[in-house]
Structures are given as C-alpha cells and as structure tokens.
Structure 1
Amino acid sequence: MPHSLAIPVHSELIIKKSRFIGCVEPCPDRETALARVYELREQHPGAVHVCWALLAGGQSAANDDGEPGGTAGRPMLEVLRHQDLELVLATVVRYWGGVKLGAGGLVRAYTDAVAQALLKADKIPLVRQARLRCTLPYSMEGLLRREIESAGAQLGEVSHGAQVELNLSLPESAVAGFKARLDDATQGRIGWLSSDAG
C-alpha cells in the first residue's frame, strides 16, 4: 500500500564542504511542487542548486537544476519510489563547497540527503478516495448530510435545482456500504449520477 507523509522533515549533510539541505514533504501536485521550489530559491539565494523530485501519479517529475544530467533529480525520485511513497516532494538545496564531487559523489549526496530525511519521516497510509455524485429530493437532504458526516465522507459542491445534487468523496473501501445504506434509507429515491476513483 502506498504511503504519504504527515509533515515535512529535513536533513542536512556536509560533504567535502558542500552543504546539502534535504526535505521531504506531502505535496498533492506539480503546481504545488513548483511553488515550493520557487519558495526555497527565495529562502536560499546563495545556493547553487535546488534539485527536486515529485511522486504524484501522472504529475511525477524530477529536476537536476543544473547539476550533471541524472545525478540529482532522478536518483531522488528513485528513493521515493523505493519507499513506496505517493504525493511526496523531495527537495535538496546545495551550497557549493569548492570541491567537485564527481557524478557518483553527486548521486550519493542527493540520495543520502533524501534518505536521511525519510528516516525521520512519519509515513501515513494513503487511502484512495472515490468521488460520488447523486441527486435526491429536498426532503432527504438532511438525511444524506447526516450519513455523509457519520461515514466520515467529505461533502463537496451542492446545487439546488429540481432536486438537490451533491458531490462527495470517501474512501473507496466504504463506497459499497455507503450506497447500500442510502439506497435503503431513501427507498431507492437517491440517484447515483457517476462515481470515479480519485
């Protein structure tokens, strides 16, 4: 089962006078990752590189930020994959120490910075969510809202037209039971419009 991280965790390594500041943190998508990398560049104006790797489904990416190709971002991404992580951003800020490390040394430094941070990280199971859409009579909206709350589901957009239409998300494993309870409670008057894995 894939895991994500509860909170950001940092590490710091000094290798031949170069300083590597690693961080692993939860990150939902590429847009958030790019914003975080920009923030790190602002916080560390003296750094020579801010390399990063993101594991977020179809938005996964790796960036060497000027280091020789394949010596930073890709090895960092492999560390995340090896730990079976998802929705996680790894960043390493490098301050130049004046001594070249060579390709092998760079790969070790960047992977070690990420691995050291992960040793201290609190990993949490990633629960796959399903999104549901349904319609029902106004008189049953309160019942549905109570069921959503008791199931620990998240209520999304609600629109009021000829009937009430609601969007919600809940763990995939709870969908079948949730739908069965509501079909029963509404005597089949709830209409399930679509559902997809989130």
Structure 2
Amino acid sequence: MTRFTIPAPGIHREQIEIKRSRFIGSIAHTPQADDARAFIKQMKDQYADATHNCWAYVAGPPGDTRMVGLSDDGEPHGTAGKPMLTVLLHSGVGELTCVVTRYYGGTKLGTGGLVKAYSQAVEAVLKRMPRSQYVPSVQVETGIDYQIQTLFRKRVEEYGIAIEEEVFSDRVQYLLTVPEDQYSAFEKALLDLSNGRSVLSRL
C-alpha cells in the first residue's frame, strides 16, 4: 500500500444555505467502518433536532469502493447519500466520513436541487479542509553499537523513522516505526553503517 491523502485530525465543518434550508457539512478522518459509524452517531446526537442527517463514507484509500456506506436519512432515494459518496470518491482523499445536516427552510428543492445541494455541501468542506498523509509503516527492532549511535540517529531522521523505544545495555536497542516505502533503503543503510552487525527484525 502506498501513501495517500487523508483529512487532518479534528472535525472539519462548513455551512451553505439554499432557499432558506441550511446544509451543514462535517467531515472527519475515519480509518475503519466502525470509526465512520461512530462519527455518524456523534453528528446525529449533536444535531438531533435537524430535519435530516445524511451521510457517506469511504473506509479505504482514495476512490476505493470496497468499503463504503451511505444514507439518505429520509430524503428522497438517491438524492443525498449517493451524490455525497460520488464527491468523496472523486476527492482524492481517503478514510473519511461526511455527514450533511439539513435544517429545512420551508421551500422544497426538488430531486435535482437536493442532489446539487448535498454535493455542494460536501464540496464546501473539502475545499477548505486541511489534509494529512497516511503513511503505511512497519514496527521493527534492532540493536546497534554505541560508536555508531550518532550516525544511526541521522539515518533515522533522514528516512522519516520514529523511535518508539531506546534501551541502553551492552548495545543500544531500538523499537522503530519505519515507513514501508523506506524499509528496504533503510535496511541497506543500516547494514552498511554497522558493517553487517545490525539487522532489522519485523514485529
């Protein structure tokens, strides 16, 4: 799996108004379907007095349709959840859920109007939403000699590796989180640096 774009942490929200109906779009990072359902419940509880809380989610990389969900929440079939999901699938962002909350303003929008309104509500959030990166990674253990510790730490920084644990004994023992796309290069660099004395052990 490669790196891909995800929503930054937090809840991202924008509001639009169409013919006195308010549409409030809320998006959050939801890596799994269970996370999506929990966020949907949170929004439904927060906006319990709303006319509708329609939603759609993609629990996978951008454009991945294997784990998706949607709901019109009482709006005419196909006028809310489906257009919302279409926008999410074409957004270039993965692992996200959007809930669009509608407060009815007294004027019916018609089928086409609803599709447009719910699509625009999602697009409004996506337009201003800060992004982050999902980086597939693997945890490994390794041990190094003290004399190469300074150079080792430089390599760790160069390859974007996180040090989770550092234990000092006869050697320095490390628990590391290594980006998958840097694993092979870092493994070779470590072998070269340690003259073959340090190896990576996947957990």
TM over 0.5: yes
- Tell me how far apart the structure 1 counterparts of residues 68 and 199 of structure 2 sit (CA, whole Å): 36
What is the TM-score with the length of structure 1 in the denominator? 0.74
* Deviation string, structure 1 residues 31-61 (Cα, Å, up to 9, x no partner): 2222222221222121122122222315432
Match of residue 63 from structure 2: none
- Does the 8 Å contact 2:54/2:101 carry over to 1? yes
Partner of 2:170: none
Determine the C-alpha separation between the residues in 2 that align with 1:193 and 1:32: 31
Mark the CA change 1:4 to 1:189 in structure 2 (over 3 Å): closer, same or farther: same
* Aligned match of 2:74: 66
In the alignment, does 2:186 pair up with 1:186?
A: no
Q: Distance in 1 between matches of 2:193 and 2:52?
A: 58
Identity %: 33
**Cα distance, 1:152 vs. partner?**
2.9
Q: Which of these residues, 118, 140, 153, is aligned with residue 133 of structure 1?
A: 140
Are residue 37 (structure 1) and residue 46 (structure 2) matched?
A: no
Q: Any gaps of 5 or more consecutive residues in structure 1?
A: none
> Aligned residue pairs: how many?
188
Query: Contact (CA 8 Å) 2:58, 2:94: kept in 1 or not?
Result: yes
Measured in 1, the distance between the counterparts of 2:178 and 2:77 equals 41
Q: Distance in 2 between matches of 1:192 and 1:95?
A: 56
| Other structure's SS at 1:74 match | helix
- The answer (yes or no) to whether the contact 1:11–1:116 under 8 Å persists in 2 is yes
Moved more, 146-155 or 75-84: 146-155
Match for 2:6: what amino acid?
Answer: S
**CA pair 175-106 structure 1, distance change in 2 beyond 3 A:** same
The aligned runs of 1:17-96 (5 Å cut-off) are 17-57=20-60, 58-96=66-104
Deviating more after overlay: 87-96 vs 99-108: 99-108
SS in 1 for 2:17: strand
Root mean square deviation of aligned Cα? 3.3
- Normalised by the length of structure 2, the TM-score is 0.73
TM-superposed CA distance for 1:16, in Å, is: 3.1
DSSP 3-state at the match of 2:82:
helix
User: How far did residue 154 of structure 1 move?
Assistant: 2.9
Partner of 2:122: 114
